[in-house]
Amino acid sequence: MEKREYKYELHCHTSDVSFCAHSSAEEAVEFYKQRGYDGIVIIDHYSPQTFLFHKALMPHKYTDMYIKGYKRAKEIGGEDFTVLLGCEVRFFFTIDDFLIYGIDEDFLRSSGNLMTKYLRRLFKLCDEKGLILLEAHPFRELRFRHDPKLLHGCEVFNGKDAGKIANKKAREWARNNNFAFTTSGGDFHDKNNTVPGGIITNEPIKTNEDLLRILRSGNYRLITD
């Protein structure tokens, strides 16, 4: 009997939380279910644009607001569709983005203001917690690449950059730096304008522990254009 394969989107935003998204958690789940995916990681923006005004000073106090999209997607996803919580961090006064995989609500509530940690401290925190920290879309316009020693890897395919040289450059950068982890993500913001990404695995992912284990094992294929 042929083994079944499983598809997971690793970079999905919702309009419930992310200021720049145009599709809701419900629409995100429907979008990926229709395309045969088995789950998604909700990775809404953790940025000053999300935590406006006084909330940006203490975002950990507003975790319930930040996880609205994740909670809603998990609620409607059902038992046969995995919804995991991730995070896309942008520090104050920057435009570069970093993806964190393996987090839970307690991490968001207990780790202080991630926007003020900047990369060295954030990498140390992720290392201590056993999380995976990647640079998102490192060759998108106006972005900078950061010290590979302060990253576990990078996103080498991003759906918003599909067909652009940015994804090719990201693959080359990852290869030249021997990154332990490379990922693909659709960067879902709008159901009408998304090129899906993610990974294909030979076993189901039900928890963040499953996701971290599979990423560390390298037993997955990237979904790219």
Which pTM was predicted? 0.96
pLDDT at position 207: 98
The CA distance from 99 to 153, in Å, is 10
Asked if the structure places residue 132 within a domain, the reply is: yes
Answer yes or no: is 159 within a domain.
Answer: yes
- Identity at 168, one-letter amino acid code: K
Summarised one tens digit per residue, pLDDT across range 32-63 is: 999 999 999 999 999 999 999 999 999 999 99
Instruction: Report the C-alpha gap between 56 and 67 in whole angstroms.
Output: 15
Q: How confident is the model at residue 2 (pLDDT cuts 50, 70, 90)?
A: low
Cα radius of gyration (the chain): 16
Compute the residue count for the chain. Answer: 225
pLDDT tens by residue, 106-149? 999 999 999 999 999 999 999 999 999 999 999 999 899 999 99
Does 134 reside within a domain? yes
pLDDT digits (tens, 9 = 90+) for 161-170: 999 999 999 9
CATH, residue 201? 3.20.20.140
Confidence at residue 225, expressed as pLDDT on a 0 to 100 scale = 75
- Asked if residue 221 has pLDDT above 90, the reply is yes
pLDDT digits (tens, 9 = 90+) for 179-203: 999 999 999 999 999 999 999 999 9
In a domain, 1, yes or no: no
Biggest CA pair distance of the chain: 57
First to last CA, the chain: 29
Give a yes or no: residue 61 inside a domain.
yes
Instruction: Find the domain containing 141 and state its range.
Output: 6-223
Do 211 and 101 meet the contact criterion of CB atoms below 8 Å apart? yes
Mean pLDDT for the chain overall: 96
pLDDT, tens only, 84-97: 999 999 999 999 99
Q: Which two tokens stand for residue 174?
A: 């990852």
Task: Please list the helix, strand and coil fractions of the chain in percent, rounded to the nearest 5, in that order.
Answer: 35, 20, 40
State how many domains the chain has: 1
CB-based contact 33:25 (threshold 8 Å): no
pLDDT one-digit tens code per residue, 58-76: 999 999 999 999 999 999 9
Within-domain flag for 215 = yes
